[in-house]
């Protein structure tokens, strides 16, 4: 399981040491949430912060764009250091064009789905995607409760991928913890995003390892 700690939950007053912690851990990616205050009711951070992270990050940056009409900024995000970029299905009128642009920019191309968007809407584009990001909370904020129905969505997406013999990876984002990680793995998830679970942990490096092996923390309430 690849773990992508979500920097949104980090302590920004000591961002450098939070990045070093992730560098020293079993995490595979840095997850960066970009919010425009239009697509989602929140504003996060932008290029200057991302470029600062890129300078010291020892792992690839996975950039989740919660932005309307993201085509306007894709090249800038690539230039700022993104290796993986996901755009929202709900924010792209011409999704095929957005995905082709990501491919041209030679980054891993992903589509994120809000909780209400069914996976079958990806039927005609799945073969072009390096990954699909299933939102297991409504996007906009860290620390929300996992929507249980997301497990069923992952299972359906996994069978679509297997039917096509595609290489598309499945990423899940929102409310992930050491209690639901084993269930998500079983359902077919490849990448787990975790914000609060990692950054509010007393031992974040161990929590990242526990998530990576999908080991349930003692006393986890389901």
Q: Catalytic residue positions?
A: 33, 173
210 touches ligand DX5 (CB under 6 A): no
Binder among 10, 193, 208, 211 for ligand DX5 (CB under 6 A): 193
Contact range with ligand DX5 by CB under 6 A, out of 14-22, 117-125, 194-202, 205-213: 194-202
Contact range with ligand DX5 by CB under 6 A, out of 21-29, 122-130, 193-201, 209-217: 193-201
Three-class HEC string of the chain: CEEEEEHHHCCHHHHHHHHHHHHCCCCCCEEEEEEECCCCCCECCCHHHHHHHHHHCCCCEEEEEECCCHHHHHHHHHHCCEEEEEEEHHHCCCHHHHHHHHHHCCCEEEEEECCCCCHHHHCCCHHHCCEEEEECCCCCCCCCCCCCCHHHHHHHHHHHHHHHCCCCEEEEECCCCCCCHHHHHHHCCCEEEECHHHHCCCCHHHHHHHHHCCCCCCCCCC
Cα-flanking dihedrals φ and ψ of residue 71, to 5°?
-55, -30
Q: Are strands 82-88 and 108-113 parallel, antiparallel or unpaired?
A: parallel
Binder among 18, 33, 36, 210 for Zn ion (CB under 5 A): 33
110 touches ligand DX5 (CB under 6 A): no
Among Zn ion, ligand DX5, none, the one that 171 touches (CB under a kind-dependent 5 to 8 A) is: none
Q: How far apart, in Å, are the Cα atoms of 53 and each of 48, 57, 72, 221?
A: 9, 6, 22, 34
36 touches Zn ion (CB under 5 A): no
173 touches Zn ion (CB under 5 A): yes
Among Zn ion, ligand DX5, none, the one that 98 touches (CB under a kind-dependent 5 to 8 A) is: none
Contact range with ligand DX5 by CB under 6 A, out of 76-84, 99-107, 191-199, 202-210: 191-199
According to CB under 6 A, which residues from 51 to 70 bind ligand DX5?
Answer: 64
137 touches ligand DX5 (CB under 6 A): yes
Among Zn ion, ligand DX5, none, the one that 62 touches (CB under a kind-dependent 5 to 8 A) is: none
6 touches ligand DX5 (CB under 6 A): yes
201 touches ligand DX5 (CB under 6 A): no
Positions touching ligand DX5 (CB under 6 A) are: 6, 8-9, 31, 33, 64, 137, 139-144, 173-176, 193-197
């Amino acid at each position: 399981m690849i773990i992508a700690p979500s920097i949104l939950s980090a302590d920004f007053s000591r961002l450098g040491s939070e990045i070093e912690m992730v560098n020293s851990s079993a995490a595979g990616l840095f997850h960066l949430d970009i919010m425009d205050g239009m697509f989602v009711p929140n504003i996060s951070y932008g290029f200057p912060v991302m470029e600062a992270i890129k300078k010291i990050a020892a792992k690839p940056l996975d950039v989740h764009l919660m932005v309307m009409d993201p085509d306007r900024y894709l090249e800038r995000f690539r230039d700022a250091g993104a290796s993986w970029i996901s755009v929202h299905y709900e924010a792209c009128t011409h999704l095929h064009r957005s995905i082709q642009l990501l491919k041209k920019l030679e980054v891993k191309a992903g589509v994120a789905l809000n909780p209400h968007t069914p996976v079958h809407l990806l039927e005609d584009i799945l073969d072009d995607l390096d990954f699909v990001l299933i939102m297991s909370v409504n996007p906009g904020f860290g620390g929300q409760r996992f929507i249980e129905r997301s497990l069923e969505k992952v299972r359906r997406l996994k069978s679509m991928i297997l039917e096509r013999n595609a290489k598309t990876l499945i990423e899940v984002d929102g409310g992930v913890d050491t209690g639901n990680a084993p269930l998500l793995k079983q359902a077919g998830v490849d990448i787990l995003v975790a914000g609060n679970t990692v950054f509010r942990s007393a031992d974040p490096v161990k929590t990242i390892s526990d998530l990576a092996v999908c080991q349930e923390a003692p006393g986890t309430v389901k």
